[in-house]
């Protein structure tokens, strides 16, 4: 299968960064945007100031509004927009095509992972999942970034990883799509929690404890849903969790800081804050954990904070006074 042309759907920060990386890997790459002004800016000025201010894009990167088939399709839209984006593409155009899903979230209402949404809309597409510790600005700038690319078929996944690899982006091939997707989605919820800990001034010790217990909770959920524990020791698990739960560059972490400072989720959203996938994912994750009969007190706590069911002081007291148990 040829892997020379790449179509990146979604010209936000992440989609633009991945398109830039694909060009750097030697692929003939087209970035698809909804707005003609963005297309014109990328094609003429080689910038996308709205999403990557001050970042010059490779002149070989092309932009367009209307999708055309490619050897590799990268879907880089928010998790709750995946279905809408796929509705604009004829399923036949994706038949037999590797489609790389990059959104880290679960679909509201259906509780579906991103690959399941893809197969619901385009049953003959070949789903892959890209995840790991990666900020758009780092990837766009060509800073060294390592990620996980998960899919069925070891040789096919390795070939796809090789097609996208460069001196700046290093994809590691894996076969646990379930674990990679669940870890990527749920780490956003734990990042909200860690941000709230910082915002409330609860200290570095509390944040470290939260990361560790979040990892244990995540492991229980991944195992219950058929994922592999090994995945969590890698880039898509520990790597992504650590980055998102400690860096103010993380949108979810920043959102959590404001929650911890006493702002309501409604007020933060109304202020025009950058999209934090964990806000939509938290209730879905809670429902998924319930469905799998997994105890997930941290996800429940984030939901309580987002819905103003309890303030952070009450939530922390509740967590700290849970019945004592052996560490799992």
Q: Is 210 annotated as a binding residue?
A: no
134 is in an annotated binding site: yes
Does 136 count as an annotated binding residue?
yes
Q: Is 275 annotated as a binding residue?
A: yes
14 annotated as a binding-site residue: yes
Annotated binding-site residue? 15: yes
262 is in an annotated binding site: no
Query: Is 250 labeled as ligand-binding?
Result: yes
Inter-residue contact 214 to 241 (CB < 8 Å): yes
Residue 48 annotated as binding site: no
13 is in an annotated binding site: yes
- Between strands 98-101 and 28-32, the pairing is unpaired
Per annotation, catalytic residue among 62, 187, 309, 325:
187
277 in a known ligand binding site: yes
Q: Is 68 annotated as contributing to ligand binding?
A: no
Question: Nearest 10 degrees: CA dihedral of 170, 3, 135, 143?
Answer: 50
Rounded Cα distance, 131 and 164, in Å: 14
Ligand-binding annotation for 12, yes or no, is yes
Active site residue 187: yes
How far is the CA of 110 from the CAs of 124, 184, 206, 278, 290, in angstroms?
20, 18, 34, 16, 14
Residues comprising the binding site for sn-glycerol 3-phosphate? 104, 132, 134, 187, 240, 250-252
Annotated binding site for substrate: 104, 251-252
Cite the active site residues. Answer: 187
Give the residue ranges of the annotated binding site for NADPH. 14, 34-35, 104, 136, 251, 275, 277
Give binding residues as ranges: 10-15, 34-35, 104, 132, 134, 136, 187, 240, 250-252, 275, 277
Residues that constitute the known binding site for NAD(+): 10-15, 136, 251
């Amino acid at each position: 299968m040829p892997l020379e042309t790449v179509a990146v759907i979604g010209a936000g920060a992440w989609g633009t960064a991945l398109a830039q990386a694909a060009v750097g890997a030697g692929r003939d790459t087209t970035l698809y945007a909804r707005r003609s002004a963005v297309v014109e800016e990328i094609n003429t000025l080689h910038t996308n100031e709205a999403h990557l201010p001050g970042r010059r894009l490779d002149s070989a990167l092309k932009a367009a509004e209307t999708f055309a088939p490619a050897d590799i399709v990268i879907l880089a839209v928010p998790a709750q927009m995946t279905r809408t984006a796929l509705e604009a593409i004829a399923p036949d155009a994706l038949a037999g095509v590797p489609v790389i899903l990059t959104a880290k979230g679960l679909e509201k209402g259906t509780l579906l992972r991103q690959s399941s949404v893809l197969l619901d809309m385009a049953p003959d597409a070949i789903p892959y999942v890209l995840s790991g510790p990666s900020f758009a600005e780092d990837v766009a700038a060509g800073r060294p970034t390592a990620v996980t690319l998960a899919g069925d078929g070891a040789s096919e996944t390795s070939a796809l990883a090789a097609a996208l690899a460069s001196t700046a982006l290093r994809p590691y091939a894996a076969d646990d799509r379930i674990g990679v997707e669940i870890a990527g989605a749920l780490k956003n919820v734990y990042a909200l929690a860690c941000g709230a800990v910082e915002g409330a001034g609860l200290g570095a010790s509390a944040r470290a404890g939260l990361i560790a217990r979040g990892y244990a909770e995540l492991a229980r959920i991944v195992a219950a849903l058929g994922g592999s524990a090994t995945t969590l020791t890698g880039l898509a698990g520990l790597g992504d969790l650590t980055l998102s739960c400690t860096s103010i560059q993380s949108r979810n972490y920043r959102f959590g800081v404001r929650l911890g400072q006493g702002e309501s989720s409604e007020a933060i959203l109304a202020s025009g804050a950058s999209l934090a996938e964990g806000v939509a994912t938290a209730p879905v994750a809670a429902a998924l954990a319930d469905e799998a009969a997994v105890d997930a007190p941290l996800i429940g706590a984030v939901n309580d904070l987002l819905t103003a069911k309890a303030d952070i002081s009450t939530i922390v007291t509740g967590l700290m006074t849970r019945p004592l148990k052996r560490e799992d």
